Structure formats: C-alpha cells, structure tokens
Amino acid sequence: MKKRVSLFLVALLMVAMALTGCGGGAQNEPADPPAAEGDGFAADAVIGVALPWLGTQNWAEADQMFKDQLEAAGFKAIVQHADNKVPQQQQQIESMIQNGAKVIVVGPVDGSQLGAVLEEAEAAGIKIIGYDRLIENTTGVDGVVQFGSVKTGELQGQALLDGLAAVKGEGPYNIELFGGGPADPNAPNFFKGAMKVLQPKIDDGTLVVVSGQTDFTQCATMDWDNSKAQARMDSLLSGFYADKEIHGVLSPNDGIARAIITASEQAGQQLPVVSGLDAENESVEWIWSGRQYSTVAKPTDVLVNKTIEIIKSLQAGNGMPAPDTTVNNGKKDVGVYELPPLVVTKENAKEAFANDPGRLELLK
Ligand code: BGC
C-alpha cells in the first residue's frame, strides 16, 4: 500500500514537472511564473523593444528592422530608444508593461540600472530578452542575444597587431588604447578581449603605450561619445607625441575610430593603424580608401532575426530555445545566444560583404 502511494506521488510530481516546464526547459531558469512557459500568447500580441540610443548605425538599423519585421510577423511593435538616458528607458519599459507587452527586448543604456522595472515585468509574466548588451544584476532577464563581446575585443586587438606589422614595418610600435562607454557591459568586455592579445606584447616591449594609460577606466569614452574620444586623442597627441609618431590605436567602435583618425590627421601625424567595430558605412568607405585599418562586422539583421526567432518560440509556447552558453549577471546565470563577429580589412571586405549589397556598393 505504502509503495503504491509513493509511486503515485512520483507520477504526480512528474506530471507537475512536465506542466510547469521544470526539469527539461531552458538552462538556468529559476522558477518562472508557470503561466509564462508552455502557454504561449496571441499571434498579434504586443512586443516591446527598448533600445539605448540611435547614435551608431547598428542601433538605427535595429530600430528600423524591429519595426518592420515584428509587424511583418503579425505582432504589434512598440519600438523606442532612450537617447542614452537611464530614467527615460525605465519609463519606456514601464509603459510597455502597462501596454500589455508579452516580450520586452532590451538594449540597456546602463546594464545595471534596470533591475526594479525588469523585475516588475518578470512578476507580470513578461519575458525579457537582452539585445546586443548584457542586462546585469537582476533576475529580470531570460536570455541575451549578442555577438561574443570578449571575442570582439580579441579580434580588435589582433587586427591592431596585424595592421602594425603590415603597415608600419618593424616594431616597437607606439600605441594608445581607447574603450567604450563604461555603463555598457560590452565596453569592458571588448577592452578585456583586446588586452588578452595586446598585454603580452606590451610586456615584451613590442608595443609601447606612450601615455602609460592602460586601465579601462583611463581609456573609457563616456557615453560612447565620439567628440569626447576626439578630445582625449587631441590631448594625448599634444601631450605625448609632439616629437613622436603614433603607430596605432585600439578603438572600440567605428565612430571613435574616425574621431581618432581625424585628430591624428589634424595633428599632422602619418595615419595610424586603427581598429573599429560595426562596419558603419562611413568606416567601410574609409577602410576601402585606406584611412581606417579594420572594423568588426556584427550584422544587425542577424541579431534581429535571432531575437525574432526567440519571440516566435515564446509565442508558440515552446519557451526560450537552448542557449549557446551562459554568463552570470551578478544575480543569475543568463543564457546567451552568441553569434560570431567577423574582422574586416580592405583585404577581405568584398568577401565579408558579399551578401550585403548596401555595403558592397561602397567598395568602389
Ligand atoms: C554595441 C556597438 C556600438 C556601441 C555604441 C555597443 O554596445 O555593441 O555596436 O557601437 O554599443 O553604440
């Protein structure tokens, strides 16, 4: 009799696990409200997309693609950007919750300032997908779609080294280092990846950071603001390079790369080898004409498509697909859907943009 009762209890437990999606669902999911998984939602549901700003080409592309593709998939899309302001983004997410969004996609202005509003969304059974940037220090995130951020930095560091060898002859080489906006969790990761490659060459004397500024905090560019990067570059050049050539600069993205190159030209320097990120149209042209050495392509359409694939899986009641890896955000292990970034120089540009008619057109 006892045995039968316990068998019955085991069977009951298994049914309960199957119903709530526990035990077999996406990795690292601590108990979500049962209604959120397995049920799906209406095919014309509201989907919110909260972008940080439209200050670089990738975000402007994402803004347009989310609007077009979510509507084309039958959803009602609320796509907003926060002009790089944290309170504005918090309010936008708040109003997406009030408007009944079933999924909110978030590219955070500041990775660690959305905890309260996202936990409110989580409690309402809304799924939250980090887009391009990690969302830190909150349980209110179900997964992140991004190009590998440390990998991106490694590619930038390696491109700088390769470019120096290709363009500037034998070392040692004088270089300077730039990082992105410190509130963006990608920025320290890009820098960390680059330093994995560059630090050993600084240690063995191949690379000389003439200013001595090698910490992320010294090299960061507040708010990813190109004009702040240009001002820092102006002062590095006048302070340390009045009688020296600068051979190369690590740049975290294309806008900052163009600011660095412009400052160098204005200071009468030979063009330094400069890395980049985003394959922005203007930088693709500069690479083709030899003014910027490299960029890293992380195509927006691939990132948006991946995000919409996840939203469709949630809509159909299939939950979050299995992630490629996980990363701890300070509060939980977050599943990461990780896409591969690609370094682009003049040498491989035609191949790299073979399926991108807009950028291919610029290589003339
Ligand atoms: C993105 C880059 C972008 C930068 C500034 C980063 O989080 O990954 O593509 O250039 O933000 O907008």
Gap from CA of 179 to ligand 1 centroid (Å): 11
42: its two tokens:
């209406």
Q: Are 230 and 209 found together in one domain?
A: yes
The yes-or-no verdict on residue 5 having pLDDT over 50 is: no
Gap from CA of 258 to ligand 1 centroid (Å): 15
pLDDT, mean of residues 169-177: 97
| The dihedral formed by the CA atoms of 130, 150, 160 and 241, expressed in degrees to the nearest 10 | 80
> What does the pLDDT read at residue 55?
97
Ligand 1, pocket-test mutation among 186, 222, 304, 344, most atoms within 8 A of CB? 186
Gap from CA of 245 to ligand 1 centroid (Å): 29
- Residue 39: pLDDT band by 50, 70, 90 thresholds? confident
146 CB less than 6 Å from ligand 1?
no
359: its two tokens:
């950028």
> What does the pLDDT read at residue 35?
41
> What does the pLDDT read at residue 38?
61
Instruction: Kindly report, residue by residue over 89-102, the tens digit of the pLDDT.
Output: 999 999 999 999 99
pLDDT, mean of residues 62-74: 98
Mean confidence (pLDDT) of the chain: 92
Gap from CA of 122 to ligand 1 centroid (Å): 26
132 CB less than 6 Å from ligand 1?
yes
Q: Are 188 and 123 found together in one domain?
A: no
Instruction: Kindly report, residue by residue over 200-250, the tens digit of the pLDDT.
Output: 999 999 999 999 999 999 999 999 999 999 999 999 999 999 999 999 999
184 CB less than 6 Å from ligand 1?
yes
Q: Are 97 and 177 found together in one domain?
A: no
| CA-to-CA dists, residue 102 to 19, 65, 246, 301, angstroms | 20, 19, 52, 22
Would residue 14 count as lying in a domain?
Answer: no
Q: Are 226 and 333 found together in one domain?
A: no
Would residue 182 count as lying in a domain?
Answer: yes
For the beta carbon of residue 244, count every other beta carbon within 10 angstroms. 12
CA dist., res. 122 & res. 135, Å (int): 13
Q: Are 91 and 70 found together in one domain?
A: yes
Gap from CA of 52 to ligand 1 centroid (Å): 10
> What does the pLDDT read at residue 14?
42
Would residue 188 count as lying in a domain?
Answer: yes
The yes-or-no verdict on residue 345 having pLDDT over 70 is: yes
Q: Are 189 and 200 found together in one domain?
A: yes
Would residue 34 count as lying in a domain?
Answer: no
- Residue 344: pLDDT band by 50, 70, 90 thresholds? very high
CA dist., res. 202 & res. 194, Å (int): 12
Q: Are 109 and 194 found together in one domain?
A: no
Which domain CATH number covers 197? 3.40.50.2300
The yes-or-no verdict on residue 341 having pLDDT over 90 is: yes
Would residue 284 count as lying in a domain?
Answer: yes
Would residue 41 count as lying in a domain?
Answer: no
> What does the pLDDT read at residue 221?
98
Gap from CA of 157 to ligand 1 centroid (Å): 17
Ligand 1, pocket-test mutation among 51, 54, 56, 145, most atoms within 8 A of CB? 56
Instruction: Kindly report, residue by residue over 282-339, the tens digit of the pLDDT.
Output: 999 999 999 999 999 999 999 999 999 999 999 999 999 999 999 999 999 999 999 9
pLDDT, mean of residues 76-101: 98
Domain span at 280: 149-298+346-353
Q: Are 50 and 133 found together in one domain?
A: yes
For the beta carbon of residue 206, count every other beta carbon within 10 angstroms. 17
